[in-house]
Amino acid sequence: MILSQPSSDQWWSSAVIYQIYPRSFKSTTDGVGDLPGITSKLPYLAGLGVDAVWISPFYTSPQKDHGYDVSDYRDVDPLFGTLEDATTLLARAKELGIKVIVDLVPNHTSDQHPWFQKALKAGPGSPERNLYWFRDGRGENGELPPTNWRSVFGGPAWTQVEDGQWYLHLFDSSQPDLNWENPLVREEFESILRFWLERGVAGFRVDVAHGLMKDPALPDWDHDWEMVSGLDDDSVPAPPMWDRDEVHDIYRDWRKIVDSYGGMMCAEAWVHDDERRSLYVRPDEFQQCFNFSFLASPWDRASLQEVIAQSYEVNNRVGAPTTWVFNNHDVVRLPSRMGLPVTGKGPNGIFPTDPQPDLELGSRRARAAQLLMLALPGSAYLYNGEELGLPEHTSLADEYRQDPNFRRTEGTEAGRDGCRIPLPWDSTLPGAGFSPTGETWLPQPDGWEEYAPDRQIVNPDSVHTMITTALKLRKEHGLGTAQIKDHTTEDALEYQVGDIRVITAFDRELPVPDGWQVLLSSQPVTDTIGPNTTCWLQKTES
- List residues with catalytic annotation: 207, 268
Q: Which of 85, 285, 330, 387 binds ligand NOJ (CB under 6 A)?
A: 330
Contacts within 8 Å (CB) and 24+ apart, 351-354: 351/394, 351/398, 351/414, 352/394, 352/395, 352/396, 352/397, 354/394, 354/414
> Could you give the CA distance from residue 404 to residue 411 in angstroms, rounded to a whole number?
10
Least Å distance, CB 40 to ligand NOJ, is 25
Of residues 331 and 510, the one with the C-beta less far from ligand NOJ: 331
Q: Minimal distance in Å, beta carbon 105 to ligand NOJ? A: 6
Nearest approach, Cβ of 180 to ligand NOJ (angstroms)? 15
Nearer to ligand NOJ, 171 or 326 (CB): 171
The closest of 244, 286, 271, 265 to 104, measured between CA atoms, is 265
Contacts (CB under 6 A) with ligand NOJ, residues 165-224: 171, 207-208
Q: Is 451 helix (H, G, I), strand (E, B) or coil?
A: helix
In whole angstroms, the minimum distance from the beta carbon of 157 to ligand NOJ comes to 13
Q: Which residues from 244-273 bind ligand NOJ, rule CB under 6 A?
A: 268
Least Å from the CB of residue 268 to ligand NOJ: 6
For ligand NOJ, what does the binding mask look like between residues 283 and 322, x meaning CB under 6 A?
Answer: ----------------------------------------
Query: What is d(CA 528, CA 198) in angstroms, rounded to the nearest whole number?
Result: 53
Pick between residue 106 and residue 431 the one whose CB is nearest to ligand NOJ.
Answer: 106
Query: Which parts of 101-120 interact with ligand NOJ (CB under 6 A)?
Result: 105
Which residue type, as a one-letter code, is found at position 417?
D
Q: Which of 326, 312, 374 is nearest to 7 (CA)?
A: 312
Is the Cα dihedral 356, 360, 364, 367 positive or negative? positive
Compute the distance between CA of residue 21 and CA of residue 68 in angstroms, rounded to an integer.
11
Residues 39-78 interacting with ligand NOJ (rule: CB under 6 A)? 65, 68
Q: Which residue is nearest to ligand NOJ (CB)?
A: 68
Q: Least distance in Å: CB of 228 to ligand NOJ?
A: 9
User: Which residues sit opposite 267 in a β-bridge?
Assistant: 206, 289
How many CB atoms within 10 Å of residue 398? 11
Q: How far is residue 197's CA from residue 262's CA, in Å, rounded to a whole number?
A: 9
Give the nearer residue to ligand NOJ in terms of CB position, either 50 or 105. Answer: 105
CA distance 67 to 77: 9
Q: DSSP per residue over 297-311, as a string?
A: --SSHHHHHHHHHHH
When the beta carbons of 208 and 279 are compared against ligand NOJ, the nearer one is 208
- The residue among 434, 487, 316, 315 whose CA lies nearest residue 27 is 434
Least CB distance to ligand NOJ at residue 468 (A): 27
Integer Cα distance of 153 and 227 in angstroms: 9
Count residues binding ligand NOJ (CB under 6 A).
9
Sheet holding 492-497, edge to edge: 2-3, 484-486, 492-497, 500-505, 533-539, 516-521
Which of 193, 529 has the CB closer to ligand NOJ? 193
Among 80, 36, 37, which residue's Cα sits nearest to residue 58?
Answer: 80
Establish if 243 lies at the interface with ligand NOJ (CB under 6 A).
no
CB nearer to ligand NOJ: pick between 391 and 404: 404
* Binding site residues, ligand NOJ, CB under 6 A: 65, 68, 105, 171, 207-208, 268, 329-330
